[in-house]
């Protein structure tokens, strides 16, 4: 663009940052802004060699969402390739994109994000819910799982940011758009827990404690040849609204983890398929989702403490993940990658209340086995997710002396 303003800089935000609940296999970059409606923020970059990346625009000081856009939604610059599209050339050399943040209302009957070749635009004049946006806020760049051989930015420079005068012919001032939006964001949810106690985190605020009995009764009916399997962990639909909103991503949060040093926590679930971009293999398009991970988090400081991502797990011969988590117990001899187990030593995590967040990111519209349809803060059951439900059970270490002969673990 002609006469661009001065180059602006991103601020690196570590994944374990206070109040961020970050995924430790992602990098976060923040750009704070304050502009008027006559200025566009123009972001030019190259598609990185990573599993997934996205831009989120949120206002300040409430951090309420304007919109979040994944890299696969971009139309590349003319002559370039978007490698995040199914079947695209993962190693394409020409891989440029342009994103503009324009502080006017979206075009009539349009979403906040309008893609275009060299002209992908987020209209930030209103929030996601249609309320007027404030003049200042944050742009968050998330970069997940760089491919082998590349740094945390995915082998490309951070996107180049400039301020430019908005073209008058490109402005869209629609007073009726906001009136057509449904619903409002409220300040309830996970990020209010800084004013709550651990009682709330332990899921004692359920509408009906029979929900727990319902879960266990459903799972305990899954018996074969006398084998009885139950789930000790319970999960709730989690919809963060502070710094983590990201489009087409579903989060579930566990009840508080029991850190018994004499027990092991075994979590077993069917692994959603995902692209192997870590080994520089392109995206086929038939994957269940683009990324998933299991994250240890705590309400003390709202910190993300540790992450086990899809590519770091062992997937057994039946397509299942078998996480074995220790809080001090020794590793049984049968808990090996060859037997289909992923060993996680959590004994060195800080001695604070622990919870797990299961993140499903960029889910295929053909994959129904997530908690997407479960209302916020409601219990997620095995019936909602089928074989893809993470069933967690506290077991004695001796359990693994014979478990590997059980039909669950046989080919």
Low-confidence ranges of the chain (pLDDT < 70): 1-7, 18-20, 168-229, 240-245, 403-411
Question: Is 317 exposed, middle or buried (CB count within 10 Å of its CB: 0-12, 13-18, 19+)?
Answer: exposed
Phi, psi of 100 (to 5 degrees): -115, 135
Domain boundaries, the chain: 11-180, 190-405
pLDDT at 401: 84
pLDDT at 242: 56
pLDDT at 220: 42
pTM assigned to the model = 0.81
Q: Which tokens hold the place of 335?
A: 């808990």
Taking the C-alpha atoms of residue 311 and residue 274, their distance in angstroms, rounded to an integer, is 9
Residue in this structure with the two tokens 């991503």, named with its chain if needed: 249
Helix/strand/coil for 312: helix
- Name the residue among 163, 182, 191, 248 with its Cα closest to residue 63: 191
Beta-strand relationship, 235-238 and 379-380: antiparallel
End-to-end CA gap in the chain: 59
Helix/strand/coil for 185: coil
Per-residue model confidence as pLDDT tens digits over 366-389: 999 999 999 999 999 999 999 999
pLDDT at 80: 98
Determine if the peptide bond prior to 340 is cis (ω within 30°).
no
Ranges assigned E (strand) in 299-352 = 303-309, 320-326, 342-345
Second CATH level (architecture) for the domain 11-180: Sandwich (2.60)
Mean pLDDT computed over every residue of the chain: 82
Taking the C-alpha atoms of residue 104 and residue 345, their distance in angstroms, rounded to an integer, is 50
pLDDT at 15: 79
Helix/strand/coil for 374: coil
Q: What is the dihedral of CA 159, 361, 305, 207, to 10 degrees?
A: 130
pLDDT at 219: 40
Q: Decide if 182 contacts 192 (C-beta within 8 A).
A: no
pLDDT at 239: 79
């Amino acid at each position: 663009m002609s006469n661009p303003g001065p180059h602006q800089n991103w601020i690196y935000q570590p994944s374990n940052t206070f109040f961020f609940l970050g995924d430790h296999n992602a990098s976060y970059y923040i750009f704070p802004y304050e502009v008027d409606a006559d200025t566009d923020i123009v972001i030019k970059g190259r598609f990185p060699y990573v599993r997934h990346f996205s831009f989120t625009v949120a206002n300040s000081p409430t951090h309420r969402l304007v919109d979040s856009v994944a890299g696969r939604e971009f139309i590349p610059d003319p002559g370039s390739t978007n490698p995040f599209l199914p079947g695209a050339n993962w190693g394409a050399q020409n891989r440029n994109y342009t994103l503009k943040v324009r502080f006017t209302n979206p075009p009539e009957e349009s979403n906040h994000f309008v893609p275009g070749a060299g002209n992908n635009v987020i209209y930030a004049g209103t929030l996601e819910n249609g309320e007027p946006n404030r003049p200042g806020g944050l742009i968050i760049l998330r970069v997940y799982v760089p491919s082998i051989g590349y740094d945390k930015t995915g082998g490309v420079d951070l996107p180049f940011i400039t301020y430019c005068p908005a073209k008058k012919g490109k402005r869209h001032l629609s007073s009726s758009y906001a009136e057509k939006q449904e619903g409002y964001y409220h300040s309830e949810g996970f990020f209010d827990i800084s004013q709550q106690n651990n009682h709330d985190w332990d899921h004692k605020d359920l509408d009906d404690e029979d929900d727990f009995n319902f879960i266990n009764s459903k799972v305990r009916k899954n018996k074969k040849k006398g084998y009885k399997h139950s789930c000790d962990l319970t999960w709730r639909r989690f919809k963060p609204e502070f710094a983590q909103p990201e489009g087409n991503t579903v989060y579930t949060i566990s009840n508080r983890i029991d850190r018994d040093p004499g027990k092991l926590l075994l979590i077993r679930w069917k692994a959603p398929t995902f692209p192997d971009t870590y080994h520089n293999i392109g995206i086929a398009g038939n994957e269940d989702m683009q990324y998933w991970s299991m994250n240890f988090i705590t309400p003390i400081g709202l910190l993300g403490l540790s992450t086990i991502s899809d590519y770091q797990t062992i997937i057994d011969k039946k397509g299942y993940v078998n996480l074995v988590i220790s809080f001090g117990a020794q590793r049984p001899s049968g808990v090996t990658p060859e037997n289909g187990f992923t060993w996680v030593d959590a004994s060195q995590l800080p001695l604070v209340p622990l919870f797990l967040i299961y993140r499903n990111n960029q889910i295929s519209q053909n994959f129904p086995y997530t908690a997407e349809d479960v209302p916020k803060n409601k219990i997620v059951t095995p019936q909602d997710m089928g074989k893809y439900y993470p069933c967690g059970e506290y077991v004695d270490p001796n359990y693994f002396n014979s478990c590997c002969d059980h039909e669950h673990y046989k080919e």
